[in-house]
Amino acid sequence: MQNNRKTDHGMTIRIEGLQDIQRAARQFVEAMGERKVFAFYGPMGVGKTTFIKAVCEQLQVDDAITSPTFAIVNEYQTRQGMPVFHFDFYRIRKIEEVYDMGYEDYLYSGALCFIEWPELVEDLLPTDVVAVHLSQQPDGSRAVEMV
């Protein structure tokens, strides 16, 4: 059923369907450790925003969790008062837009940062960023690979 595996480089979590996403998100949170910046890779429609929403719910974020496609970044708060930043760089056309938003204040704040479409800003990401690859499997399930 779960078919999760750990490797030397990270962990792969299998999501059978939406009914399974909270279990997968809980497992992801347990594996995060002290790491703070997570870059989510995957094609359009694979479920990056949906998975980040589930992870935020596991972190006890009560705010409405939505894609920051137009805002570029959304800030949430956990019940413990910890900030969580959720980025979506899909609509970025020039790197100057990222400089103008003050990306360093977010990515180097020590707060949790979840980044969708990081391909567009890879040169600006901290060296300890955790790559998270989401993919759809032939049977329709999703794989979340933390590297």
Residue-range domain boundaries for the chain: 5-146
Mean pLDDT of the chain: 91
- The strand ranges marked E within the chain are 5-7, 10-15, 37-41, 73-77, 83-88, 112-116, 130-136, 142-146
**Can you give the pTM of this predicted structure?**
0.91
With beta carbons less than 8 A apart as the criterion, state whether 25 and 51 touch.
yes
pLDDT at 5: 47
Q: How many secondary structure helices (H) and strands (E) does the chain include?
A: 4, 8
| DSSP reduced 3-state for 27 | helix
Q: What is the pLDDT of residue 7?
A: 40
What's the CATH number of domain 5-146, 3.40.720.10, 3.40.50.40, 3.40.228.10, 3.40.50.300?
Answer: 3.40.50.300
Task: Please give the Cα distance from 147 to 140 (Å, whole number).
Answer: 22
Ranges of residues in the chain whose predicted pLDDT is under 50: 1-3, 5-9
Residue 32's identity, in one-letter code, is M
